[in-house]
Amino acid sequence: MMKYSNGKGKIISNREVAPDHYKMEVEAPTTFGEALPGQFVMVKVSDGVVPILRRPFGIFQTNKDRGSFEILYRKVGEGTRLLADIAPGVNLDILGPLGTGFDLDLSGDNPILIAGGVGIAPLYMLAKELVSAGKQVKVLFGSRGKNDLLVVDELKTLGIELLIATEDGSEGFKGYGTGLLEELLERGEEISSVYACGPEPMLEKVDKIAISHNLICQLSLEAIMACGFGVCLGCVVKTCTKDKDREFDYNRVCCEGPVFNAGEVIWDEA
């Protein structure tokens, strides 16, 4: 049984941190402060009828001392455009924390976190907690160009090793974050586990790399969500099954996910 709250959260701040990317801090009931890295919240972005559905966002970090949590989001459509325009002081309708978080017990001593774009959002809190647990954390962060990199200063203060990849070569490795991962593997670097969040093609590639190198790996998926708590079945993905009478299972990204283990998701159908 999932433990989550539905309530009001007062916006403490909501500011643009990079072109079309925003960080919002929300004062919220204590259950939100207990969120695990990888869990998410559903946010009603407007008091009006449109858009009617809440929007899902990964929890960037919780601030237990301040009784708040933060999200990092990209303006992509109507809902996030409305969200970006909301001023501090306004009360938001929020539901969370939802979904399964990353399993920190799988990390081993040398975990790698790989993010594509705003996929860095749930990995930031994971990096923080792994560092607190004494792990040697490497974060591979891929973006289109250096202007699209997010929260780099915050990442640098965590005590992690940050490796950047940009598609246009304007900073760090020229190419994708997955290219960096392949380089580390070729160099024989110690990698005890991989955690990933980003666009689906990136996750599929990480999944393939992890399987071929026999790496422990968890992937955080996105899906269009209506309810966020398992009722509408709008977010299902096909997953491998152990049942010999079935070809596949359906899993809800909002409940069984958003975090899945490598080898679980059937990508062609996801």
Ligand X SMILES: Cc1cc2nc3c(=O)[nH]c(=O)nc-3n(C[C@H](O)[C@H](O)[C@H](O)COP(=O)(O)OP(=O)(O)OC[C@H]3O[C@@H](n4cnc5c(N)ncnc54)[C@H](O)[C@@H]3O)c2cc1C
Backbone angles phi, psi at 227, to 5 degrees: -95, -45
| Complete edge-to-edge strand list for the sheet that includes strand 21-27 | 55-58, 40-44, 91-98, 5-18, 21-27, 68-74, 61-63
Window contacting ligand FES (CB under 6 A); options: 7-15, 66-74, 173-181, 231-239: 231-239
Torsion on CA atoms 181, 214, 238, 124, rounded to nearest 10:
-40
Among 18, 53, 232, 266, binds ligand FES (CB under 6 A): 232
Burial class of 115 by CB neighbour count within 10 A (0 to 12, 13 to 18, 19+): buried
50 forms part of the interface with ligand X (CB under 6 A): no
Among 9, 37, 58, 172, binds ligand X (CB under 6 A): 58
Output 5 or 136, the one with its CB closest to ligand X.
Answer: 5
- Residue 40 interface partner, choices ligand X, ligand FES, none, CB cut-off 5-8 Å depending on type: ligand X
Q: Of 138, 90, 148, 146, nearest to 110 (Cα)?
A: 138
140 forms part of the interface with ligand FES (CB under 6 A): no
Among 234, 241, 263, 267, binds ligand FES (CB under 6 A): 234
235 forms part of the interface with ligand FES (CB under 6 A): yes
DSSP 8-state code for residue 218: E
118 forms part of the interface with ligand X (CB under 6 A): yes
- Residue 205 interface partner, choices ligand X, ligand FES, none, CB cut-off 5-8 Å depending on type: none
51 forms part of the interface with ligand FES (CB under 6 A): no
Output 38 or 191, the one with its CB closest to ligand X.
Answer: 38
Output 205 or 252, the one with its CB closest to ligand FES.
Answer: 252
270 forms part of the interface with ligand FES (CB under 6 A): no
Q: Tokens 């959260």, residue?
A: 9
- Residue 58 interface partner, choices ligand FES, ligand X, none, CB cut-off 5-8 Å depending on type: ligand X
Provide the token pair at 219: 């992937």
Window contacting ligand FES (CB under 6 A); options: 14-22, 28-36, 181-189, 226-234: 226-234
* β strands within the chain, DSSP E: 5-18, 21-27, 40-44, 55-58, 61-63, 68-74, 91-98, 111-116, 138-143, 161-166, 173-174, 193-197, 217-220, 236-239, 249-252, 259-261
CA–centroid distance for 65 within its chain: 23
The DSSP bridge pattern shows strands 217-220 and 193-197 to be parallel
7 forms part of the interface with ligand FES (CB under 6 A): no
Number of residues that bind ligand FES (CB under 6 A): 12
In this structure, the number of other CB atoms found within 10 A of the CB of residue 154 comes to: 17
| Position closest to ligand X via CB | 77
Strand, helix or coil for residue 198: coil
Name the residues that contact ligand X, by CB under 6 A. Answer: 40, 51, 55-58, 71-74, 76-80, 118, 121, 222-225, 258
Name the residues that contact ligand FES, by CB under 6 A. Answer: 225-228, 230-235, 252, 254
